[in-house]
Chain A
Amino acid sequence: MAEYLIKNGFVYDPVLGINGDKTDVAVKDGKMVETSALSNPAEIDASGMTVMAAAVDIHAHVAGPKVCVGRNFRPEDKLFRATPQAGIKRMEGGFSVPTVLKTGYDYARMGFGFVMEAAMPPLYARHVHEEIRDTPIIDEAALPVFGNNWFVLEYLKNQEIENTAAYIAWLLRMTRGFGVKNVNPGGTEAWGWGLNCPTVNDPVPYFDITPAQIVRGLIEANEFLGLPHCMHVHANSLGQPGNYTVTLDTLKQAEGIKARNEFGRDQVLHHTHLQFHSYGGESYASKSFESKSKEVADYINARDNITFDLGVVTLDETTTMTADGPFEHHLTELNHLKWVNTDVELETAAGVVPYIYSPKTFIAGAQWAIGIELGLFAKDPMRTFITTDHPNAGPFIRYPRVYKWLMSKAAREDMLDNVLKYGNTVRDRCYIGEIDREITLFELAQMTRAGPAKALGLAGMFGSLKPGMEGDVAVYPYNPETSGDPEDIERAFSHAQYLIKGGDVVVREGQVVSNGNKRTFWVDCKVNENPQVERDVAEKFKRYYSVNLANYEVYAHHYVPNPYVIEVDATQ
């Protein structure tokens, strides 16, 4: 395999503590190495440019049935947005729900190496893996959803952590999944009765268990197994004014629990798209709705076992999709646009609704502000990750725009003064006008690389340029010494000059030149034999499922042709 020497760039690596030093970076046989280990490298001149490890996305909806529904029911999302096949690239299309090919190419063009698909309905895991397989370049994994699963609800009601853990281990193997996702705990199941669980203390109908019990139980089961990633929660009452108390109640479930794993992960709870969960007020009226980002960030700043990602609203026309069925119904009642709802048997439900975050409305402006505020209030960039909950708050191709807002007060002021119609009301009802902080490139590398890699338990592979890590390097045409215009940030991070992925050049001079060698990561967790769970699984499949147990497993040879298996031993 090839050797590369990336010379003279400004290097940012939080793991190695390199903060913009001009230094050389070496890749050999797919891994990072010391420069002295190279014998005859191809040289890449990165002078005047920024060099970082490839980025890691901890939460995006990029593959699977609800993404596909979004593509199918929004043909207008592709209108005038298709680019024909060129070179090694195949045709690309779409904006908020791009084709799998565009997804892979766009992430590569932005210098990403790993993306986590944030919600996999277990029954449709095959579909998720087919789309992951067909997404070029980027390594991916998927989190199956557990928070409304009948097995989990029944075991946790009886406080059977070991059975819950055994079931999780079994399901991860069946679905080739990576970790534990928990969407609107209990609320999505309640939606089957036309109800919801607005707070953590509302019991789920029939199962008679509360969201608080589900959250805490799944954390305990996750730590019982010692999985690479922690319990990844989307709390109850997403998007509801006044929901920050529900968010705090959810975060409190992690109190007193310590991470137990061999992957260097410190947190036991990851709260995703926190922006949607940090609202004050009683309604969407501008006199009532307000930001509670400070209250939520303060709580997290004072803890060390919680991580979160932002979910910044990018003020685009986008497609919302979530396994939070009742929320999507609420949205369609609000904007009267088309709505899809699905119930996935014993496991979960989902909805899809297009949404326009218009800068002409106060609420969209305030939502924008709250997402940015959370990133600026957070004291530890290693526990704060940048996302747009793609495509819910905005498409992932807007990440560089979010970097710009986080890194430049001038860019934020420009938004408040010139773009948002109700900029002054947003200043009144939110904190954004009072914050002077500007995220540095070093902090950006923590929030987009080292941090998410560590939170996913992948710190040994991604997020740093340390010798022995995966040969994933991004070079951006951004000169930290001379670039002054905030627009340069967005431009440069949208178009990496080079991306080396797994030791191969994938983006060269801004052009995608290779379809890479993508891998699907999954976690194979060994547990002691558990006859009760085995019997329960067999019984439920016989009585309730529409498929046979033998047709449930994601057979690796077809669906996961290029796996990377992380083995966990939880038998002790």
Chain B
Amino acid sequence: MATVTLKPIKVPDLRLEADNIKPDAFAGKKAAEIADLHVFCGNTRYSLGEFFEVTGEGGATAAETEVVIDGDVSRVKYIGMKMTAGSVLVKGNADMYVGAWMEGGTITVNGDADAFAGMGMTGGEINVLGNAGNYLGAAYRGDWRGMQGGVIRVVGDAGSDIGTFMRGGEIIVNGNVDVHVGTHQEGGTIIVKGDARSKVGGQMVEGDIYVFGDIEVMMPGFQHIGDVDIEVDGVSGRFACYKGDMGERHPRRKGETIYGKLYLKY
């Protein structure tokens, strides 16, 4: 595994759009070539080297490349966008769209990740050790293809609208989440180990949502269908199981109607 280290040397005036910060773009390149890759600040094109000191070099392939951002990049967007393999470690906070549409590999953010982390991702793993923003694992504006695969783990809290249009994969939030969880969800699993406020599973077609704490206001479209004793992400317990959203269409497979499931821990 070859490591490329980016040390922030200049805070951009506007947010920096740096979808080139990913193992796929760095693989097979020397430090000088990596520093030459472009980034955008507003409508102006700069080279990566104007904002970061680049050391090390990429591995032969993305899978053999590790990217370490040694500092705070809370004004740098699109880190690890569409990456397919390898790893990215952000030692501080990251701006929006971390790991958007990623297909594989691992991203770790030691601080907070802003909105749209893991948007539309189809594979790989995102670990946020701080808090995550809104629209975690959601779909791009207007799109109906949210997170489709992979895993997102958040140690702290997450914002609102997480898992909107989610179709697969897993989102695990250790802390609390804001409103709108799994809106239009059509597959995949969301686990909230803290509390959720309201509008959990609105217009949900299928998939699973687990809430360990409380839901402040339950959606009226969910029906209690019984209690189950299960283990969820290493935690065993009794959960009340609801099906829904009853106001939404539901597919039929093998003679059975498929519903979204909402599990609330006692």
Q: Which residue of the partner chain A has the closest CB to B248?
A: A336
Partner of A75, one of B43, B141, B144, B249: B141
Least Cβ–Cβ distance between B203 and chain A, in angstroms: 11
Within 8 A of B (CB), among A78-137: 79, 84
CB contacts (< 8 Å) of B226 on chain A: these are none
Q: Which residue of the partner chain B has the closest CB to A75?
A: B142
CB contacts (< 8 Å) of A379 on chain B: these are none
Whether, in the assembled complex, B233 has its beta carbon less than 8 Å from a beta carbon of chain A, the answer is: no
A76 engages B249 (CB within 8 Å): no
Alpha-carbon distance between A79 and B141 when the two chains are bound, in angstroms: 10
CB contacts (< 8 Å) of B143 on chain A: these are 76, 79
Question: Which of B43, B144, B249 is most buried by chain A, counting CB atoms within 10 A of its CB?
Answer: B144
Whether, in the assembled complex, B140 has its beta carbon less than 8 Å from a beta carbon of chain A, the answer is: yes
Contact with A along B135-161 (1 / 0, CB 8 A): 000001111100000000000000000
Within 8 A of B (CB), among A317-371: 336-338
Alpha-carbon distance between A336 and B248 when the two chains are bound, in angstroms: 11
Within 8 A of A (CB), among B96-140: 140
A336 engages B142 (CB within 8 Å): no
CB contacts (< 8 Å) of A74 on chain B: these are 142
Whether, in the assembled complex, A73 has its beta carbon less than 8 Å from a beta carbon of chain B, the answer is: yes
Q: How many residues of B contact A (CB 8 A)?
A: 7
Least Cβ–Cβ distance between A81 and chain B, in angstroms: 12
Total CB contacts across the A-B interface at under 8 A: 17
B144 engages A79 (CB within 8 Å): no
Alpha-carbon distance between A84 and B44 when the two chains are bound, in angstroms: 11
Q: Which residue of the partner chain B has the closest CB to A333?
A: B249
B141 engages A76 (CB within 8 Å): yes
Alpha-carbon distance between A75 and B249 when the two chains are bound, in angstroms: 25
B43 engages A84 (CB within 8 Å): yes
Alpha-carbon distance between A368 and B43 when the two chains are bound, in angstroms: 40
Least Cβ–Cβ distance between B44 and chain A, in angstroms: 11
CB contacts (< 8 Å) of B142 on chain A: these are 73-77, 338
Contact with B along A46-80 (1 / 0, CB 8 A): 00000000000000000000000000011111010
Q: How many residues of A contact B (CB 8 A)?
A: 10
Within 8 A of B (CB), among A456-481: none
Partner of A337, one of B43, B141, B144, B249: B144
Alpha-carbon distance between A74 and B141 when the two chains are bound, in angstroms: 8
Q: Which residue of the partner chain B has the closest CB to A76?
A: B143
Alpha-carbon distance between A76 and B143 when the two chains are bound, in angstroms: 6
B43 engages A76 (CB within 8 Å): no
Q: Which residue of the partner chain B has the closest CB to A337?
A: B144
Q: Which residue of the partner chain B has the closest CB to A72?
A: B142
Least Cβ–Cβ distance between B253 and chain A, in angstroms: 15
Least Cβ–Cβ distance between A175 and chain B, in angstroms: 31
Least Cβ–Cβ distance between A316 and chain B, in angstroms: 16
Within 8 A of A (CB), among B221-266: 249
Q: Which residue of the partner chain B has the closest CB to A335?
A: B144
Alpha-carbon distance between A73 and B143 when the two chains are bound, in angstroms: 9
Least Cβ–Cβ distance between B148 and chain A, in angstroms: 14
Alpha-carbon distance between A74 and B43 when the two chains are bound, in angstroms: 23
Q: Which residue of the partner chain A has the closest CB to B249?
A: A336
Least Cβ–Cβ distance between A404 and chain B, in angstroms: 29
CB contacts (< 8 Å) of A336 on chain B: these are 249
Least Cβ–Cβ distance between A340 and chain B, in angstroms: 12
Question: Which of B141, B143, B249 is most buried by chain A, counting CB atoms within 10 A of its CB?
Answer: B143
CB contacts (< 8 Å) of A76 on chain B: these are 140-143
Alpha-carbon distance between A222 and B185 when the two chains are bound, in angstroms: 51
CB contacts (< 8 Å) of B140 on chain A: these are 75-76, 79
CB contacts (< 8 Å) of A79 on chain B: these are 140, 143
CB contacts (< 8 Å) of A77 on chain B: these are 142
CB contacts (< 8 Å) of B141 on chain A: these are 75-76
Alpha-carbon distance between A392 and B153 when the two chains are bound, in angstroms: 41
Q: Which residue of the partner chain A has the closest CB to B19?
A: A80
Question: Which of B140, B142, B144, B249 is most buried by chain A, counting CB atoms within 10 A of its CB?
Answer: B142
Least Cβ–Cβ distance between A525 and chain B, in angstroms: 42
Alpha-carbon distance between A73 and B140 when the two chains are bound, in angstroms: 12
Least Cβ–Cβ distance between B249 and chain A, in angstroms: 7
Least Cβ–Cβ distance between B101 and chain A, in angstroms: 10
Q: Which residue of the partner chain A has the closest CB to B45?
A: A84
Alpha-carbon distance between A77 and B140 when the two chains are bound, in angstroms: 11
B43 engages A338 (CB within 8 Å): no
CB contacts (< 8 Å) of B144 on chain A: these are 337-338
Least Cβ–Cβ distance between B78 and chain A, in angstroms: 11
Contact with A along B145-186 (1 / 0, CB 8 A): 000000000000000000000000000000000000000000
Alpha-carbon distance between A73 and B144 when the two chains are bound, in angstroms: 12
In the assembled complex, 14 residue pairs joining A and B whose CB atoms fall closer than 8 Å, in A order, are: A75-B140, A75-B141, A75-B142, A76-B140, A76-B141, A76-B142, A76-B143, A77-B142, A79-B140, A79-B143, A84-B43, A337-B144, A338-B142, A338-B144
Query: What is the interface of chain B, defined by CB distance below 8 A to chain A?
Result: 43, 140-144, 249
Query: What is the interface of chain A, defined by CB distance below 8 A to chain B?
Result: 73-77, 79, 84, 336-338
